Amino acid sequence: MRQARVFVDLDLEAGNVLSLPTPAVLHLVQVLRLRGGDGLMLFNGEGRDYPAVILDANRHRVEVRLGEPGPPEPPLPLQVHLGLGISKGERMDFALQKAVELGVAEVTPLFAGRAVVRLDGERLTKRLEHWQGVVIAACEQSGRRRLPRLHPAETLESWLTKGHPRPLLLDPSADLPLTDLPPPGPALTILIGPEGGLSPAERERAYRAGFAGVRLGPRILRTETAPLVALAIAQSQWGDLRD
């Protein structure tokens, strides 16, 4: 049986005894059915895994003792910032989950003109919290010890003005395939539109902001598929999937 691996927003230090936060307690006790004496792995997103042993567990409280941490997660050889048009529930969750598994460094959810999702106020706050949970769960599953940064959602127009390293726009009509791109250096920015794609005016804005158009192949991909393909290509050519 695979050992449980759980994110906790706590300071971790070998030898310390900790009471875990309520979400972790519910997951470990009610879902995984762990009990006193069971082992697990904890991480707080800062780069190391900490083995732990459960000292006491019930429905309301889990107390653990931390062991010596494992090695730090190596730095990413390619820092990819994904600007992702906001899409409907499961599609956005899927794109975020797989982007984390493929080693994305940063993600900014973007409001674009053709987006079918409209969020503001409390709904936006709750959705951002949900997306952060998706990122954390993907790190727990994939073994990532550092959390990718999930930026607050913003408009595409605002995001384009901020300046980004080696900015690329996924554009099915572009002449240059992503596979033919010369090595981009240590950082790369990839812009992907929402379900309806970017409008001609938005694409033109991106080009004026310095983005270079690249295509992934002969087919138009869904907004939740395009990040997977783009990240897999980038990581296999210049990132940590080369070895």
Residue 115: what pLDDT? 64
Q: Which structure tokens are listed for 193?
A: 């539109």
Residue 1: what pLDDT? 57
- 159: three-class secondary structure by DSSP: helix
20, 24, 29, 32 alpha-carbon torsion, rounded to 10°: -140
Which residue in the block uniquely carries the two structure tokens 């794609």? Answer: 197
Q: How far apart are CA 14 and CA 26, in angstroms?
A: 24
* Alpha-carbon separation of residue 103 from 56, 152, 215, 240 (angstroms): 35, 19, 20, 8
Residue 55: what pLDDT? 95
Q: What is the mean pLDDT of residues 64-88?
A: 95
pLDDT bin (cut points 50, 70, 90) of residue 126 is very high
DSSP class of residue 179? G
Residue 143 predicted with pLDDT over 90: yes
Q: How far apart are CA 6 and CA 29, in angstroms?
A: 12
20-43 pLDDT, tens digit per residue, is: 999 999 999 999 899 999 999 999
Q: How far is CA 163 from the centre of its chain?
A: 21
Residue 114: what pLDDT? 66
155-169 pLDDT, tens digit per residue, is: 999 999 998 999 999
Q: Which residues pair with 80 in a beta bridge?
A: 188
H or E segment to which residue 205 belongs: helix 200-208
H or E segment to which residue 133 belongs: helix 121-142
Residue 166: what pLDDT? 96
Which residue in the block uniquely carries the two structure tokens 């270079």? Answer: 212
Nearest CA to 40 among 61, 15, 14, 66?
66
Residue 121 predicted with pLDDT over 90: no
Determine the Cα angle at 211 with ends 210 and 216, to 5°: 160
Q: How far apart are CA 47 and CA 238, in angstroms?
A: 22
Residue 50: what pLDDT? 98
Q: What percent of the chain has pLDDT over 70?
A: 97
Contact of 14 with 69, CB cutoff 8 Å? yes
Residue 116 predicted with pLDDT over 70: no
**Better-scored residue on pLDDT, 217 or 76:** 76
